[in-house]
Amino acid sequence: MSNSPTNNDPEQNESPPLERLVRYLPGVGQHRANLFENLGIETVRDLLWYVPRDVLDLSQVSSVNELTDDRIHTIRGTIVDVDSRAISRGRTITAAVLRSDEGLIKGVWFNQPWMLRQLNNDQWVLWSAKPKFRDNRWEMSSPRLQWLDADEENARGEVLTKYGLTEGLKQNTVRSVIKTALEIAIDEIIDELPERFRVHYKLPLLGDAIKMLHQPESVEQFLEARRRLVFDEQLDFQLGLAIRRRVRKTTEIAPAITVSPKVDARIRRLFEFELIAGQEQAIAEIKEDMQQTRPMHRLLQADVGAGKTVIAIYAILATIAAGSQAVLMAPTELLARQHWDTIDQILLHSRVKRCLLTGNLTASERKETLRQIANGEIDLIIGTQAVIQKDVHYHQLGMVVIDEQHKFGVVQRARFTGTRKAPHVLVMTATPIPRSLCLTQYGDLDLSVMSDMPPGRRTVVTSRVMTPKVEQKAWSFIREKLQTGRQAYIICPYVDSDNPDDPAGAVQTFAQLSETELRGFRLGLVHGKVDREKQHNIMSRFHDRQLDALVATTVLEVGVDVPNATLMVILDAHQFGLSQLHQLRGRIGRGQFQGYCFLFSDTQNETSIERLAAMERTASGFEIAEADFELRGPGNVLGTKQSGTMPFRLTNFKRDEKILTETRRAAQRMVDAGTIDQPDFAALKNRVFERFGEQLDLPRTG
């Protein structure tokens, strides 16, 4: 298929250079345009804002004869030998030899056996590390690797950009097309940041930054240019959040709720234990917020089992004591019922009028419940997203608690706000979130963190089960514990398996275990295809110890609390994310007995092995969140399909955390001081509304 362009489209010739379609650039054509579209690139603007994933610094390549042990050197050459061997107690060493023009250099990697598959003879690579002279040869420990394309093997004295590619596109093609785009459009780039702002934050002109990004003369130039583009993206978003906070302060009024010593004592009497320091701190912060007529918007982060439900109950009862209604919204009916059972038991002798509002009510039950809510006859409403349907009208809503916030998005949260009379909002998650993600996805919320655990809570012992022999020992251990009266969860990654050689479906596992490893024990089966009433019945039987083990899918991820359940087997554990594994593990060891979690997996994938090793290594949800973030990236940590997750094309959350902090502070100062409303910032403010106004639900009057 020909790649020659067709430049005879008059509409394209009259279009602004930045808005022209890539297909009309010389050397592109429709076939290559389709390939660029796979990268999200349709226009010249898309092309120029396509940030290289890395750069090759060929201007600083050393020869073997120039190596010293006092600094990092970069060597270019071909791999001529690769080897990997065990050294002791499961530890491995992988080694490779690189041939450069002037000689040989060795690279070694400890406990990274997967490197053997990544290093192939005759590959051209760059190695960067601080070398050491050992055994009459230079050696680099865990050097940074960059693989070279054919057109880069002999390039010298350059800093070459490296782009993310798609099948059919090569680096030199992307570089060539971007060079053409720069020639026709670089002078059309308008910088919407006022000069005084750019000077203060040491930012280059936008046009200069775009040119340096794609044609840098040094690595430092590339980093400076990339910082400018990431700064712009994050500044726009943080300004949107800051404007949204200002709108709330000036347009929304919430009931001021003061907690008297008498009310405080009355609430505390409902709990049969002393609150821990983290709970006391969170309550103090919430009480301070609730006293204001400005609506509270606070995120409570707590690890699994840290006692965040106690905080929610305190905030709810304080609100009801002040004469307002409260709502607790959960992502699933199972979790909503769990909250209902917990709170209903605590309020057994209370005069608080309460209801459970889910999609499972009959038409007549729902009609009567909605009437009582609208008339103020009900103080506390616990439910699923049924609580935010259009036909639900509250008499005087003062507090909304949203549990497992990562299951919801900005849109669902906004359904409670945006009117003149707005409630206080407390959102909670037992999935700790890395700080850099909090600055963006939850940047409009104040943050409370509970990192301590209730006294007596034991750490669950976690073990990887990677071989059939170890698997048999695990099942023997589980049977012994079940015979002493303990209970077990067996978690499967999906409901049903189409492959007879793959028994990890819950239906197949239930049938198999009933005849093999758990024969003679009382087993239950629960998953998403089981109707809600039957699910509830099975869970109740398990809670009442009428079942010994429960085979289930991730319907158990949150909200299930059976103190006698101390055992968990997670089949094909490599198919779950780290945070999901941590949530599942949090369902056991919640009582007086030690908990044990077994991660069954035969995976050979290095990332999956790292993930399971992290579960074995730590019980801290905060450490797990950071590990998950590093292994899977921000989209998967939060859920790529989450409504309200922001599409950042340029930001690397781990690398750019300093920029996130810097732009958050800058945006808050600009909005608080009214700088954003000044004439020379008008273009920037318009850009903020164009990029994020709809997603953040910003009124144009903000």
CATH number of 149's domain = 2.40.50.140
- From 166-180, 347-361, 405-419, 473-487, the region with the lowest mean pLDDT: 405-419
When pLDDT is averaged across residues 639-652 and rounded to a whole number, the result is 58
When pLDDT is averaged across residues 108-130 and rounded to a whole number, the result is 86
Tell whether 440 and 465 lie within a shared domain: no
When pLDDT is averaged across residues 375-390 and rounded to a whole number, the result is 91
Residue ending a domain, among 399, 427, 450, is 450
Long-range contacts of 668-675 (CB under 8 A, 24+ apart): 668/238, 668/242, 670/239, 670/242, 671/239, 671/242, 671/243, 671/245, 671/246, 672/242, 672/246
Task: Check whether 417 has a pLDDT greater than 60.
Answer: no
Tell whether 356 and 470 lie within a shared domain: no
Instruction: Give domain status of residue 527, yes or no.
Output: yes
Tell whether 443 and 470 lie within a shared domain: no
Query: Mean pLDDT, the chain, as a whole number?
Result: 86
Which among 439, 448, 399, 426 has a CA at the least distance from the CA of 285?
A: 448
Residue ending a domain, among 392, 417, 450, is 450
Task: Check whether 642 has a pLDDT greater than 50.
Answer: no
Instruction: Give domain status of residue 377, yes or no.
Output: yes
Task: Give the domain extent around 476.
Answer: 461-618
**What is the token pair recorded at 531?**
């109707």
Instruction: Give domain status of residue 509, yes or no.
Output: yes
Instruction: Give domain status of residue 52, yes or no.
Output: no
pLDDT in the model for residue 379? 96
Tell whether 474 and 437 lie within a shared domain: no
When pLDDT is averaged across residues 11-26 and rounded to a whole number, the result is 84
C-alpha to C-alpha distance for 492 and 504, rounded to whole angstroms = 6
Beta bridge partners of 426: 298, 401
pLDDT in the model for residue 100? 87
pLDDT in the model for residue 558? 55
Pairing mode of beta strands 487-491, 565-570:
parallel
C-alpha to C-alpha distance for 147 and 127, rounded to whole angstroms = 9
Question: Could you read off the pLDDT of 38-52 as tens digits, one per residue?
Answer: 999 999 999 999 999
Integer CA distances (angstroms), 183 to 44, 216, 629, in order: 11, 15, 39
Q: Is 324 exposed, middle or buried (0-12, 13-18, 19+ CB in 10 A)?
A: buried
Tell whether 465 and 433 lie within a shared domain: no
pLDDT in the model for residue 423? 92
Instruction: Give domain status of residue 349, yes or no.
Output: yes
pLDDT in the model for residue 560? 66
DSSP helix/strand/coil, 16: coil
Residue ending a domain, among 428, 450, 472, is 450
Which among 576, 604, 577 has a CA at the least distance from the CA of 466?
A: 604
pLDDT in the model for residue 103? 87
Domains in the chain, number: 3
pTM over 0.75: no
Within its chain, how far is the Cα of 664 from the centroid?
19
When pLDDT is averaged across residues 537-558 and rounded to a whole number, the result is 86
Task: Check whether 409 has a pLDDT greater than 60.
Answer: no
Instruction: Give domain status of residue 353, yes or no.
Output: yes
Task: Check whether 141 has a pLDDT greater than 80.
Answer: yes
pLDDT in the model for residue 1? 40
Tell whether 511 and 434 lie within a shared domain: no
Instruction: Give domain status of residue 606, yes or no.
Output: yes
Pairing mode of beta strands 132-134, 137-141:
antiparallel
Within its chain, how far is the Cα of 447 from the centroid?
17
CATH number of the domain residue 358 falls in: 3.40.50.300
Return the number of other C-beta atoms located less than 10 Å from residue 50's C-beta: 22
Token match 């006293």: residue? 291
Tell whether 517 and 434 lie within a shared domain: no
Task: Check whether 406 has a pLDDT greater than 60.
Answer: no
Tell whether 339 and 468 lie within a shared domain: no
When pLDDT is averaged across residues 574-600 and rounded to a whole number, the result is 87
pLDDT in the model for residue 473? 93
Instruction: Give domain status of residue 206, yes or no.
Output: no
Integer CA distances (angstroms), 62 to 77, 103, 207, 239, 644, in order: 11, 12, 33, 45, 48
Tell whether 444 and 561 lie within a shared domain: no
Task: Check whether 7 has a pLDDT greater than 60.
Answer: no
pLDDT in the model for residue 583? 83
Tell whether 470 and 445 lie within a shared domain: no
Confidence class for position 179, pLDDT limits 50, 70, 90: very high
- Helix %, strand %, coil % of the chain (to 5): 45, 20, 40
Question: What percent of the chain clears pLDDT 90, i.e. is strictly above it?
Answer: 47
Tell whether 442 and 465 lie within a shared domain: no
C-alpha to C-alpha distance for 382 and 688, rounded to whole angstroms = 37
Tell whether 320 and 403 lie within a shared domain: yes
C-alpha to C-alpha distance for 296 and 601, rounded to whole angstroms = 44
268 half-sphere exposure, CB direction, 13 A CA radius: 14
